[in-house]
């Protein structure tokens, strides 16, 4: 078995890698480190999960002299967060060689003086305006080359590569390795070595009679140990007897074993029949031999907590012997998992969390659309925007702001459709207040009334405003265009054990600003009443008299919101009885 000691690395670097729990290189690291150590250009069709950072970082640490006062290596990244995480990870290896790593991002002290500088895409201008000296650069790395090419204009990248010192080593890594990145790499490399060889990975031959093996996977979005615990619990609850967990290092296996033991799941090496969980920190062939020697290997589930570093590893772990096959990748490792699974002849099947059946289909459709949009080239500028926002705000604040903008846009579109012009769309809808003859004494709350409105009228809950539940009645605000629909739908229905009566709220004491109920004054049919005439009592708008000018008006008693014995209608709009005389 190849170890880092067999590769052209110094003992200090090998010891630093061992201290981080890395003793066995991935296939990509084994092939790439000798090429980079010789100073040759490299085209690496690999991404996160295959060990790209150590593949170029370990040999470059030994080739670059520290303390020069300017970068000896530039690593180009897509965003601030990626640059910061990579610089922090590589800094632990740089201490042994006296080399400093830094990121051109917030909270880094004089990053332009770092020996290995990680530069996000939106800070590439620092390489042109003199902020960062590039005259001593000996190597440049495109870490996520495909995303970088899609987010930065091609002429800027070409100008950067052209302006670097002659003899500067160029390393391109990416998965997928798109045509734009491939064209740039071929034009600006000299006798570059391609790893893996060829433009397309060769898939292993499979017999027609051999069944296709499914590899289930669920994307982890937080604590990896919590995700492993949840999967182990669900697998052992079924017919699975043991769960074999593949880890990247012995330290990670020990930490996960301690975490599972706290929750009652004891662990041990593969083949230990006394424990439910088996941990494999790298001896994959031995674990495979244990499975093949069992009487019932289908009762053992295989889980890749750390991604298979290459095709052979994926085939050894999950092809052939064993029961259900699982993987727990991070979002950044999906490209690598798809590549190695395809090369190994595995069929990926994503498992999503259970959702209510009522909305499951819509959420699945939305998830598919989001995945398609996330892989689209047009998403890269938005990714960079989110990266910059996350430097100032939390993820929840960014999501809340995005939802606010969506809500504003969705409210503006219907208004524009109704008005038929931009001016009409700019005028907001007016609210009206409705009277509902049920309240606290009926043991009702705002949620009960909102549910009745949406269920009976089919109105969207977003179009219902404030709901004020009082002792004997409730006041509900709705848009004026929806008021008649709500009144007609709720009148006569039963809620809280009583029949509802719903109408416009007309009480003066419940109207803001003391406006008279019933709307504006109605113009009379004769001359206006003089100002000295007697006023009409409260309960309705003033109505001009029909007699001669200055004639006395007929007082009318105040009108209650509802007539006794009515079925919910106020009677407004009906024909009034004709008066036969005056008094």
Distance of alpha carbon 339 from alpha carbon 335, whole angstroms: 6
Whether residues 472 and 390 fall in one domain: no
Whether residues 251 and 301 fall in one domain: yes
Structural domain includes residue 31: yes
Q: Is 433:477 a contact under the CB 8 Å cutoff?
A: yes
Whether residues 335 and 447 fall in one domain: no
Whether residues 178 and 285 fall in one domain: no
Structural domain includes residue 38: yes
Backbone angles phi, psi at 513, to 5 degrees: 80, 5
What torsion do the CA atoms of 111, 117, 122, 127 make, to the nearest 10 degrees?
90
Q: Find tokens 């662990």 and name the residue.
A: 267
Looking at residue 183, what is its pLDDT? 92
Q: Is 34:8 a contact under the CB 8 Å cutoff?
A: yes
Looking at residue 242, what is its pLDDT? 93
Structural domain includes residue 579: no
The residues of the chain scoring below 50 in pLDDT are 199-209, 421-426, 509-554, 557-583
Looking at residue 143, what is its pLDDT? 92
DSSP 84-116: HHHHHHHHHHHGGGT--EEESSTT-SSGGG-SE
Structural domain includes residue 321: yes
Looking at residue 410, what is its pLDDT? 66
Structural domain includes residue 333: yes
Distance of alpha carbon 119 from alpha carbon 126, whole angstroms: 9
| The last residue of a domain, from among 482, 514, 546 | 514
Joined tokens for residue 333: 């490792």
| The last residue of a domain, from among 394, 423, 452 | 423
Whether residues 508 and 405 fall in one domain: no
pLDDT in tens, 453-478: 988 888 888 889 889 889 888 999 99
Structural domain includes residue 401: yes
Looking at residue 573, what is its pLDDT? 43
Distance of alpha carbon 114 from alpha carbon 136, whole angstroms: 12
Whether residues 510 and 412 fall in one domain: no
Whether residues 404 and 346 fall in one domain: no
Joined tokens for residue 79: 């965003």
Q: How many domains does the chain have?
A: 4
Structural domain includes residue 366: no
| The last residue of a domain, from among 487, 514, 541 | 514
Whether residues 178 and 96 fall in one domain: yes
Whether residues 140 and 225 fall in one domain: no
Q: Please report, for the domain that includes residue 160, its CATH number.
A: 3.40.50.300
- Domain range for residue 59? 4-195
Looking at residue 428, what is its pLDDT? 66
pLDDT in tens, 542-561: 444 444 444 444 455 444 44
3-class secondary structure, 172: strand
Q: Which region, left, alpha or beta, applies to residue 259 given φ > 0 means left and ψ of -120 to 50 means alpha?
A: alpha
Whether residues 415 and 460 fall in one domain: no
Of 512, 552, 518, which Cα lies nearest the Cα of 535? 552
Whether residues 151 and 96 fall in one domain: yes
Looking at residue 111, what is its pLDDT? 92
Structural domain includes residue 356: no
Whether residues 408 and 435 fall in one domain: no
């Amino acid at each position: 078995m190849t170890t880092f000691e067999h590769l052209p690395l110094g003992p200090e670097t090998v010891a630093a890698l061992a201290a981080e729990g890395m003793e066995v290189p991935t296939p990509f690291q084994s092939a790439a480190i000798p090429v980079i150590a010789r100073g040759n250009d490299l085209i690496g069709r690999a991404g996160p999960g295959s060990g790209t950072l150590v593949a170029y970082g370990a040999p470059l640490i030994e080739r670059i002299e520290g303390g020069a006062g300017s970068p000896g290596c530039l690593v180009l990244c897509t965003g601030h967060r990626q640059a910061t995480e990579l610089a922090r990870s590589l800094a632990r290896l740089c201490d042994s060689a006296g080399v400093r790593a830094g990121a051109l991002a917030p909270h880094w002290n004089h990053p332009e003086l770092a020996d290995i500088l990680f530069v996000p895409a939106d800070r590439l201008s620092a390489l042109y305006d003199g902020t960062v000296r590039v005259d001593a650069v000996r190597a440049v790395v495109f870490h996520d080359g495909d995303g970088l090419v899609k987010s930065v204009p091609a002429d800027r990248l070409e100008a950067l590569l052209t302006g670097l010192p002659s003899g500067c080593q160029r390393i391109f890594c990416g998965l997928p390795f798109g045509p734009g990145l491939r064209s740039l790499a071929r034009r600006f490399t000299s006798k570059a070595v391609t790893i893996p060889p060829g433009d397309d990975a060769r898939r292993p031959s499979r017999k027609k009679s051999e069944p296709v093996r499914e590899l289930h996977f669920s994307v982890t979005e937080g604590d990896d140990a919590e995700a492993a615990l949840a999967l182990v619990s669900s697998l052992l609850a079924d017919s699975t007897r043991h769960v074999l967990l593949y880890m990247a290092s012995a330290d990670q296996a020990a930490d996960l074993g301690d975490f599972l033991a706290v929750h009652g799941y004891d662990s041990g090496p593969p083949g230990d029949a006394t424990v439910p969980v088996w941990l494999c920190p790298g001896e994959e062939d031995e674990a495979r031999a244990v499975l093949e020697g069992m009487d019932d290997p289908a009762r053992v589930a295989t889980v890749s907590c750390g991604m298979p570093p290459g095709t052979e590893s994926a085939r050894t772990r999950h092809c052939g012997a064993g029961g259900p096959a699982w993987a727990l990748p991070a979002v950044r490792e999906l490209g690598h998992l798809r590549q190695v699974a395809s090369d190994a002849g595995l069929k990926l099947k994503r498992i999503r969390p259970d959702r209510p059946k009522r909305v499951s289909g819509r959420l699945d459709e939305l998830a598919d659309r989001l995945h398609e949009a996330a892989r689209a080239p047009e998403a890269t500028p938005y990714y960079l925007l989110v990266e910059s926002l996350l430097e100032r705000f939390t993820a929840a604040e960014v999501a809340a702001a995005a939802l606010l903008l969506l809500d504003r846009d969705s409210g503006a579109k219907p208004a524009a459709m109704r008005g038929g012009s931009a001016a009409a769309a700019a005028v907001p809808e007016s609210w009206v207040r409705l009277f509902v003859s049920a309240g606290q004494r009926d043991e009702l709350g705002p949620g009960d009334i909102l549910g009745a409105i949406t269920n009976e009228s089919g109105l969207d809950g977003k179009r219902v405003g404030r709901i004020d539940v009082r002792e004997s009645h409730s006041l509900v605000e709705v848009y004026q265009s929806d008021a008649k629909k709500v009144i007609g739908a709720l009148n006569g229905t039963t809620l809280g054990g009583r029949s509802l009566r719903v109408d416009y709220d007309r009480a003066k004491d419940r109207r803001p600003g003391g406006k008279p109920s019933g709307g504006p004054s109605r113009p009379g049919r004769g001359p206006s009443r003089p100002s000295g005439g007697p006023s009409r009592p409260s309960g309705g708008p003033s109505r001009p008299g029909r007699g001669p000018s200055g004639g006395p008006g007929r007082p009318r008693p105040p009108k209650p919101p509802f007539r006794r014995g009515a079925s919910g209608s106020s009677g407004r709009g009906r024909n009034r009885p004709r008066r036969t005389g005056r008094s």
